[in-house]
Structure 1
Amino acid sequence: MPPSTRERDDLEVRVPGTYGSKEKTTDERAEVAAFRGSLGLEHLIDVHTHFMPQSVLAKVWAYFDAAGPLVGRPWPIAYRQQEQQRLEVLRGFGVRAFTSMLYPHKPGMARWLNDWAAEFAARTPDCLHTATFFAEPSAAEDVTRALAQGARVFKCHLQVGAYDPNDPLLQDVWGLLAEAGVPVVTHCGSGPVPGPFTGPAPIAALLARHPRLPLVVAHLGMPEYEEFLDLAERYANVMLDTTMAFTSFAEATAPFPRPALPRLAHLGDRILLGTDFPNIPYSYADALHALEQTGLGTAWLRAVCHDNAARGFAL
């Protein structure tokens, strides 16, 4: 069962010196505001942020702290505050809408994660109601239930879940989501390390069967950037989010191929801002400046950081 509010608060950990701490918040808010101002944007929309039951988030943070096998190197959490503080940080950056990306790593988790997410969305109006699923017999029923609860976006993590998106247990899930037109933010690239079902081939097979599926490739498909750009160019409902892309942290091990930048520019109406907040090892402003350094221009940045998601989610 999800933890109570009291248990959730007891599990919270505050680390002095993180980017969201008081001593840094004012400067960073000003830096992000200046970025928005340079684009003529009052707000940002971030489609890849993580809010989840604190018992689960504590385990995620512990995994990052230990540089677990899916991480492979030190990964300090920049925004390790209590839930309300994290919400205040995002809102202080001018983020008008965000998600509560959460994901199961074993059967039996998805439904109670979705129930938590429904409750979180009900008390957090600026959160785009997020849900998830796992390759298990109840998957289609879980997704049907989440859609009835009002889910507007789903998260699918093929690396953590270690399941095949083409598993027959998910056949009805993809059909339901394609029919409903609800986007699925999918960690399907092989970064930071490959999983048994990561990479473009499983997603290519999935899209061949469900060509209308609104699939959002997380992290621009890192490190198989160009192969996922191929799929976006082939399927009109495939989008990509920018999570961690172009940051010095990501470029050190999975640099984006500069010759592919014109392709990213051409797909400018299907690229969405994502950051992985709060689980990033650098500041939120760093993530925004990394996009700025692509040189793709003000109109591209404005579409990515706000307009595309505003249109897609009717905000």
Structure 2
Amino acid sequence: MMDEAQQVADFRARHGLSGLIDVHTHFMPSNVMDKVWSYFDSAGPLVGRAWPITYRHAEEERVERLRGFRVRRFTAMLYPHKPAMAAWLNAWAVDFAARTPDCLHTATFYPEPDAAGYVAAALEHGARVFKSHIQVGDYDPNDPLLDPVWGLLEDAGVPIVIHCGSGPAPGTHTGPGPIAALLERFPRLALIVAHMGMPEYRQFLDLAEKYPRVHLDTTMAFTDFTQESMPFPEDELPRLQALGSKVLFGSDFPNIPYPYVHQLEAVERLGLGSEWVRAVCWDNAQVLFGAV
């Protein structure tokens, strides 16, 4: 069997890519990552099916695996599921970013009274991307406690990768409605809708068309695993191609039930052309982050 790094290299060669930028990878404190993996192992209600972790390795090995794929910039998507957790995660992320210079310094938040304070501190420490997980956090993005946070992030222009679609299982506050309401109040937010907003693909495409700074990431979309239960509608491919400058490559590494290269091949097999693939896998993130 061909080495996976070589398979990724072959993909890059087919599309004239010297490297990749992955806006949706997970690094977090080891005890938290262990709990995340345990949840996936149990096929908990937010997962809903068997979900083997392909890259269940130590942190250093996971970093080196991405570097072996020539991922030039990646993220440390981390997120709280309860109060009094986000500030601690952000402190860990400062250290991780300092010792991992190819990681885009990532931070997070939760609706709580001190959220604006620690988000401001994260920005001062150089955070370049934030993670909001509406499903796991089980919070309303329009919670008044978050209004000052959204204001800070809108003014700073820092992107937020936000898991707000109702896949793989719906949450109390998931779906396009809460995000549409949020964007009516904060229209300049640089939101990156995770997982293409699955399964509400059409509605999140609408929001990406309407708001200049709303983007979508490819994380788990178009793969065999997702197409079985939440297929992307083929009649939306022309619109997806037209929105090519607002689509960013994301993988969900290491928490994926298939090899990394499959996400790349899933993007490729949409048949939207090498120019579109290059934009998704490199150019768009480069513009948004000034990443490399």
Q: Where on the TM-score scale, by shorter chain, does this alignment land: which range?
A: over 0.9
The aligned counterpart of 1:90 is 66
Q: Deviations over 1:87-142 (max 9, x none)?
A: 11000001000000000000000001000001000000000000000011111111
- Structure 1 segment 42-121 matched on structure 2, within 5 A: 42-121=18-97
The aligned counterpart of 1:201 is 177
Letter in 2 for 1:76: P
Query: How much has 1:286 moved relative to structure 2?
Result: 0.6
Structure 1 counterpart of 2:256, from 277, 280, 283: 280
Q: Distance in 1 between matches of 2:111 and 2:53?
A: 29
Q: Distance in 1 between matches of 2:15 and 2:288?
A: 20
Q: Distance in 2 between matches of 1:97 and 1:143?
A: 22
SS in 2 for 1:186: strand
SS in 1 for 2:3: helix
| Unpaired segments ≥5 residues, structure 2 | none
Q: TM-score, normalised by structure 1?
A: 0.92
| Unpaired segments ≥5 residues, structure 1 | 1-23
Q: Deviations over 1:239-297 (max 9, x none)?
A: 00000000000001100000001111111011000000000000001110011111111
Q: Distance in 1 between matches of 2:55 and 2:101?
A: 21
Percent sequence identity is: 66
Matched, 1:302 2:271: no
The aligned counterpart of 1:11 is none
Letter in 2 for 1:217: V
SS in 1 for 2:72: strand
Q: Distance in 2 between matches of 1:141 and 1:119?
A: 19
- Structure 1 segment 1-315 matched on structure 2, within 5 A: 27-314=3-290, 315=292
Query: How much has 1:312 moved relative to structure 2?
Result: 1.1
Q: Deviations over 1:188-235 (max 9, x none)?
A: 000011100000000000000000000000000000000000001000
| Segments ≥4 residues shifted beyond 6 Å | none
Letter in 2 for 1:206: L
Q: Distance in 1 between matches of 2:188 and 2:88?
A: 28
Query: How much has 1:180 moved relative to structure 2?
Result: 0.1
Q: Distance in 2 between matches of 1:244 and 1:296?
A: 18
Query: How much has 1:311 moved relative to structure 2?
Result: 1.4
Q: Distance in 1 between matches of 2:118 and 2:201?
A: 31
Q: TM-score, normalised by structure 2?
A: 0.99
Letter in 2 for 1:87: V
SS in 2 for 1:173: helix
